Copies of this chain bind each other. A is one copy, B any other.
Amino acid sequence: MKEIRIGLIGFGTVGKGLAQALFSQRERLIQRSGIAFTLTTVVDIAVDSLPDEFSNVTLTRDAKDIFNDPSIDIVVELIGGMEPAKSFLLEAINKGKHVVTANKALLSVHGREIFTAAALNNVEVGFEASVGGGIPVIKALKEGLVANKINYIKGIMNGTANYILTKMTDDGMAFNEVLKEAQELGFAEADPTYDVEGIDTAHKLAILMTIAFGLHVHLDDIHVEGISEIEPTDIEFAGTLGHRIKLLAISRNHGKHVEARVHPTMVPETHMLSTISGAFNAIQFNGDTVGDVLLYGQGAGMMPTGSAVAADVVDIGRNILQNSVNRVPALSYLPNNMAEPIITPMDELVCPYYFRVTALDKPGVLARITSIFGDHGISIKSMVQQEHDANEPVYIVFMTHSATEGNVKRAIREIDELDVCTSPTVKIRLLISE
């Protein structure tokens, strides 16, 4: 029987998950693939010993022990971050080893260099675990939906942010309160910036866009806004208006240019993405052949992510066995057919909007505000005004028909300059229904 030997760099949460998955599924994988997948070496500078079940696995602090071991076929990088992860991956690739990684931050910034090196060395790069944890979303895009022009991607791709928004929505709690609780419970990191500011979601969107559209999308191409400024008031108004606020990654394919944005979004309660709660992820594609497809599951965690890494390892193992390396191009399009993205400028984005204007309740206020909207071609769909004390500023909430972001910015600037407006207007984009 063929044996495929695996070197693992990083024995943290996901690394342990992969080790456990390879160990507990060993017989099943033999039955399914005819291949014995053996974890031979673990590199981790912070680990002193491996659990008993891995007594046959070599533990080392030096990644060279993997790179220089000619018996190792696949190197799995699960340390995350830029360096030394990037150097490790490149060194493995240059040594002719296939690599698997869950490192979305790295791929969304240095992916091009890594995939180019892999193509030169004719090795595979598996990255199913970089998006959506255990959900086989990369494989779905690259293979299951291969006969589709992808029209859009919409998704909840960060469990921490979704957990926080869900708690804020269900329990009426403030952002900071929920974040603190989530940190105490271990659901949020000590430094939650990547999760709550949308950066992690943007990493993932860059990867999905790259393979969905065949474009070299970089993290910097993506407009990113997080959820730390979301106020309970807006979550409440959203509910009143039949919507929930979710941190969405959205990309729409306009042919000549593509949208690329991550921001809090008002999602109609009737839309499936509004029903995704807690730490779960859900990613929706629209393809010109298949229509809408949505994939849902645990977007993070030791075993779910381990499941995705293991699937990549098996996929590569089958290709080694069959001598069919790069049978499916790493980025779904052949390297020569990849193109440069042209990103829709945010000012040219067209979508419906939610505005919360804070104003003194004086005669004529509403007329002044709505005439500014009218001047900028923004058509109001509905309006809600809070009950209030006569002397307090009042919230006036608007939902618009589709409007252009540039016009919206100009209108808000004018509204916020009105003497009756006492606080900056809050703007939240709505999910386009289609």
Q: Mark A291-319, 1 if CB is under 8 A from B, else 0.
A: 11111111001011011101100110011
A310: chain B residues at CB < 8 Å are 146-147, 289
Contact: B136 with A307, CB < 8 Å?
A: no
Contact: B334 with A34, CB < 8 Å?
A: yes
Check if A386 is an interface residue, CB within 8 A of chain B. Answer: no
Given the interface pairs A144-B139, A214-B31, A322-B324, the reply to whether A295 lies near B294 with Cβ below 8 Å is: yes
Contact: A303 with B327, CB < 8 Å?
A: no
Given the interface pairs A295-B295, A310-B289, A323-B323, the reply to whether A140 lies near B147 with Cβ below 8 Å is: no
Q: Mark A328-353, 1 if CB is under 8 A from B, else 0.
A: 11001110010000000000000000
Contact: A291 with B287, CB < 8 Å?
A: no
A337: chain B residues at CB < 8 Å are 31-32
A219 → B minimal CB distance (Å): 24
Contact: B149 with A28, CB < 8 Å?
A: yes
Complex CA–CA separation, A14 to B264 (angstroms)? 39
Name A21's contact: one of B147, B275, B293 (CB within 8 Å): B147
Contact: A289 with B315, CB < 8 Å?
A: no
Check if A25 is an interface residue, CB within 8 A of chain B. Answer: yes
Contact: A328 with B318, CB < 8 Å?
A: yes
Q: Mark A261-294, 1 if CB is under 8 A from B, else 0.
A: 0000000000010010000000000011111111
Check if A7 is an interface residue, CB within 8 A of chain B. Answer: no
Size category, A interface:
35 or more
Name A322's contact: one of B25, B147, B314, B322 (CB within 8 Å): B322
A293: chain B residues at CB < 8 Å are 134-136, 295-297
A275: chain B residues at CB < 8 Å are 272, 275
Check if A128 is an interface residue, CB within 8 A of chain B. Answer: yes
Contact: B289 with A134, CB < 8 Å?
A: yes
Contact: A315 with B143, CB < 8 Å?
A: yes
Contact: A327 with B323, CB < 8 Å?
A: no
Contact: B323 with A303, CB < 8 Å?
A: no
Contact: A304 with B323, CB < 8 Å?
A: no
Q: Which of A410-425 contact B (CB under 8 A)?
A: none
Contact: B136 with A145, CB < 8 Å?
A: yes
Check if A148 is an interface residue, CB within 8 A of chain B. Answer: yes
Q: Which residue in chain B gives the minimum CB-CB distance to A298? A: B291
A333 → B minimal CB distance (Å): 5
A190 → B minimal CB distance (Å): 25
Contact: B134 with A140, CB < 8 Å?
A: no
29 A-B contacts (beta carbon < 8 Å): A21-B289, A25-B149, A31-B333, A32-B146, A33-B146, A134-B145, A136-B293, A139-B139, A139-B144, A140-B144, A147-B307, A147-B310, A148-B307, A272-B275, A289-B310, A290-B298, A290-B308, A291-B298, A291-B303, A291-B304, A292-B296, A292-B297, A292-B298, A293-B295, A295-B295, A318-B327, A319-B327, A323-B323, A327-B327
Shortest Cβ-Cβ A-B pairs, 6 listed? A136-B144, A147-B310, A322-B324, A134-B290, A324-B324, A290-B307
A residues near B (Cβ < 8 Å) are 17, 21-22, 24-25, 28-29, 31-34, 128, 134-136, 139-140, 143-149, 214, 272, 275, 287-298, 301, 303-304, 306-308, 310-311, 314-315, 318-319, 321-324, 327-329, 332-334, 337
